[in-house]
Amino acid sequence: MERYEILEALNTIFNKIVESGNVRLVETSFADDIGEWESLNHIRFIVAIEKHFALRINTGDIVGLKSISSILNVIEAAMGPTAKK
């Protein structure tokens, strides 16, 4: 799966979580820049990512996932060779 495909999936997932179609996530997006990305939605987002990509994110890593770039990196690392940059 290409990085841009993962990013598109993250956009779909996030907009379902916040019940909006108006939020556009890019690699440079940070949680602090997006009003809808508050603590409860952060947890919901991570859980939905785990479910969608059939992976587990280390609990200790979840707190540090405050940017789309960091989330993309974790997903790619978890997917291994099936993820392409």
Residues 62-79: pLDDT tens digits?
A: 888 999 999 999 999 998
Measured between alpha carbons, how far is 27 from 39 in angstroms, rounded to an integer?
20
Domain ranges across the chain = 3-80
CATH class of 3-80: mainly alpha
Q: What is the pLDDT of residue 62?
A: 87
Q: What is the pLDDT of residue 47?
A: 96
Residues 8-53: pLDDT tens digits?
A: 999 999 999 999 879 999 999 999 999 999 989 999 999 999 999 9
Prediction pTM value: 0.90
